[in-house]
Chains A and B, each alone.
Chain A
Amino acid sequence: MRLKPIVSFIIRDLKLMVRDKTFIFWLVAWPLIWIFMTAYIFVPPTGDGTIMLSLGIVNLDSSKTPLNGSSLIRIFEEAEYNGSKLFSVKLYHSENEALQALSRGELDGVIIVPEGFGYAVINPVEKARLHTYVGSKTPQSAQISSSIIIGFLERFSEELSFKRIENMVNMIQQLSISEDEKSWFNATVQGIMQPLDLTVEHVSPEVFEDRARTLGWYTIGAIGMMFLYFGFNSGAILIVSEKERGTLRKLFSTPLTEGEFLAGGFLSQLTTLLISTLILILVGVSPAVGAHIVLNPLNPVHLLAVAFMVCGALLSMSIGALISLVSKTVRGASGMGTVLGLLLSFTTGIWFPLEWMPQPVRLLAVIFPPAWSIEASRRILVFETLVETLILDSAKIFSSTAILLALALLTYRNRIKQYAES
């Protein structure tokens, strides 16, 4: 295999990328539109980088204990993160009233504090319940509100355990038993109620740091989406476009071999995809978007993420090759590639979170290798996962890439023969 022809395919197609505006659109503009929509509409920045949720509270509790409904309301009102308030609290008299406001989109969430909450809090054998409703002004805001409110309440509930223990310890102090027995009792109770060394004293859900990570998630998602439709598309038209342009026969009248042609085709598409990936990442981490993506070329773990990306691109192109078996015109193949690519990126957790999908649809992600590779690179680049947790994923991704690539090459050989001979 000669290098020169392969390089010239790459140069040829880079010129196309630069000169054809539709290419720039699909490679860069379209994914960027989605990234910016995410950054400014779905996960809008607030002045100081935090989000304030409007919370409706219905207080039905009349307990006279230190931590009752009224003090809970104060806790919500005073909760701060990085010096700015988390919640703007509105009080409602009935659950109905609050829920109506929620469904009108005036609130992000509603918390119902039931009668007897205050007593339940200090009673170790009773569960203190709070009813929480999360609104959905937009699907995106529901996602965020719920993670914030639930995150807050989780921390709150931890603190509640802490308070209960304090309470128990106070009670134990008042018992008429020996000091030894008291301290043994104390230790045991704390051991039961507080298996972990709880040091949380104020509430600060980490969810709030996650605007940057959320945007990182979506930036990689946009790249994955671009891989899918562009890879499907270009994989599907690799040969039929040469055929329709009338260049296929000229190509194979030169000393060009099939292997060189396919290597050139794959590498040039890969180059195109990786260049636009780089552009999207740079825009993603720029202040304009503010996504959290770590990509240090000197870090071998990050290089593994790059390898996953390359696999994602190769997998998409290979699936495109299989599409060329059914779609035998550029128009058909390209349309089918784009639609399938968008559809699958929406349904396999590449662009929309998988949690939004109904259960049967989620199965798609389980069997769809490009989704594995996007998810794995996302875990490294955005969530900085430990590489040890990705061993199984790596095995799956690399082997599926090898298999699909082989299938693609077989398909292409068959296509070339088919088109050259007829």
Chain B
Amino acid sequence: MNMVQEAVVAQGISKLYNSVVALDSVSFTVRSGEVYVFIGPNGAGKSTLFNIIAGIMKPSSGSIKVLGGNPFDPSTRLKTSYLPATPPLYPWLTVMENVDFYASLYGFNKKTIRQEAKGLLEKLGVQELATKLSSKLSTGQMKLASIVLALAVEAELLILDEPTTALDPGMRRSVLDLLREKVLNRATILMATHLVDEAEGLANRVAIIDRGKLIADGGVEELKKLYAPPAVLVIKPSLEQVEKSSTVLKLRWENVYSYDGEVRVHTDDPDEDLPKAILILAEKGIRVLSISVVKPTLEDVFLKLTGRRLKE
């Protein structure tokens, strides 16, 4: 395989849907052989960006090179494989027939691709899906089938839009394992997700995208070092006292966020701040159910950068 050093080079990519700005001058570089994960909330522009990289859509402005070529050229697309967020299955075909169909668009040998797809289904423990009609699959099974479609073709660049949504936790792990295998086979993976643990577990580098803007990218630890505190206090008061706790704590600390019945306090010195927080809350008569010190996640990076949370 004749590999270029950079799998994707995007410079100042913008995309407008009529008047909606979906992407606003996004620039980044994905190196060959790495897993590059886009993380961002709903409507951030991830799918739009992936459509451009997959050669489906033209950017309104900016330039993009994929595997050294123009993503619109069939010769470039021959080397990429795209997994859309919604399963692209023909309902009247079985899963294997869908595989055959898409393989033929690549011009690949049907037998080889079938063999590959069969292997993938086996690794996921769902061989029985091969002969099932796509219309008869559950939501998660459709997702699995689409993943098999995307991974069965031998691609240098995998463009995976939310590959694990709709999957149960066990299946998510199996899929991530498959992706790790692909990386070992020197594929480059571009992936979009809302899930921070997924990004952290797989990514060499992460790009944080929000409202059409790429606000930061780099290695996971690098981003945490830059944007997240050394530690986070996670305080769980009784439900009706969450807001009050957050207000009280904000008087003392700068980065305090509350959601899901928890209050997260970014801290540089957890040893000192933990007893302080307990004391302050006790003084105000707030009953704390639990309190702990955790390592920051990419979610905290996102909170720090945008003041909003990622999702869920």
Known A-B contacts A249-B84, A253-B56, A256-B74; A422 and B17 likewise in contact (beta carbons under 8 Å): yes
Contacts of B92 in A (CB 8 A): 15-16, 19-20
* CB–CB A255/B88 < 8 A: no
* CB–CB A254/B77 < 8 A: yes
Q: Which residue of A lies closest to B149 (CB)?
A: A250
Shortest Cβ gap from A366 to chain B (Å): 40
B273, CB-defined interface residue at 8 Å: no
How many B residues have CB within 8 A of the partner chain?
34
Known A-B contacts A16-B92, A250-B88, A421-B57; A8 and B104 likewise in contact (beta carbons under 8 Å): yes
Known A-B contacts A8-B104, A254-B106; A249 and B56 likewise in contact (beta carbons under 8 Å): yes
* CB–CB B82/A246 < 8 A: no
B58, CB-defined interface residue at 8 Å: yes
Which positions 235-278 of chain A face chain B at CB distance < 8 Å? 245-247, 249-257
* CB–CB A12/B93 < 8 A: yes
Contacts of A15 in B (CB 8 A): 92-93, 97
* CB–CB A12/B90 < 8 A: yes
A4, CB-defined interface residue at 8 Å: yes
Bound CA–CA A251/B77 (angstroms): 11
Contacts of B86 in A (CB 8 A): 246
Shortest Cβ gap from A118 to chain B (Å): 74
Known A-B contacts A12-B90, A249-B84; A421 and B58 likewise in contact (beta carbons under 8 Å): yes
B54, CB-defined interface residue at 8 Å: yes
Q: Which residue of A lies closest to B85 (CB)?
A: A246
B127, CB-defined interface residue at 8 Å: no
Bound CA–CA A254/B82 (angstroms): 8
Task: Give the number of residue pairs across the A-B interface with Cβ within 8 Å.
Answer: 78
Contacts of B89 in A (CB 8 A): 247
* CB–CB A2/B107 < 8 A: yes
Bound CA–CA A4/B105 (angstroms): 7
Which positions 3-60 of chain B face chain A at CB distance < 8 Å? 17-18, 51, 54-58
Bound CA–CA A148/B69 (angstroms): 75
A420, CB-defined interface residue at 8 Å: yes
1/0 per residue A14-28: CB within 8 Å of B? 011001100000000
Contacts of B112 in A (CB 8 A): none
Shortest Cβ gap from B43 to chain A (Å): 15
Contacts of A2 in B (CB 8 A): 107
Q: Which residue of B lies closest to A2 (CB)?
A: B107
The binding surface of chain A is classed by DSSP as: helix
Contacts of A335 in B (CB 8 A): none
1/0 per residue B65-93: CB within 8 Å of A? 00000000011011011101011111111
A44, CB-defined interface residue at 8 Å: no
* CB–CB B88/A249 < 8 A: yes
Shortest Cβ gap from B147 to chain A (Å): 13
Bound CA–CA A406/B93 (angstroms): 31
Shortest Cβ gap from B266 to chain A (Å): 40
Bound CA–CA A326/B9 (angstroms): 39
Bound CA–CA A327/B100 (angstroms): 32
Bound CA–CA A8/B89 (angstroms): 15
Greatest chain B CB density within 10 A among A15, A247, A253 is at A253
Bound CA–CA A121/B164 (angstroms): 95
List 17 additional contacts besides A12-B90, A253-B77; criterion CB under 8 Å: A4-B104, A8-B100, A8-B104, A8-B105, A12-B93, A15-B93, A19-B92, A245-B91, A246-B88, A247-B88, A249-B54, A249-B56, A250-B102, A253-B80, A254-B105, A254-B106, A257-B74
* Residues of chain A at the chain B interface (Cβ within 8 Å): 2, 4-5, 7-8, 11-12, 15-16, 19-20, 245-247, 249-257, 420-422
Please list 19 pairs of residues, one from A and one from B, whose beta carbons are closer than 8 Å in the complex, sorted by A's number. Answer: A5-B104, A12-B90, A12-B97, A15-B97, A16-B90, A246-B84, A246-B88, A247-B90, A249-B56, A249-B82, A250-B88, A252-B56, A253-B54, A253-B56, A253-B84, A254-B102, A255-B75, A422-B17, A422-B18
Closest 9 CB pairs of A and B: A250-B88, A253-B82, A8-B104, A255-B74, A253-B54, A254-B105, A246-B86, A255-B78, A247-B88
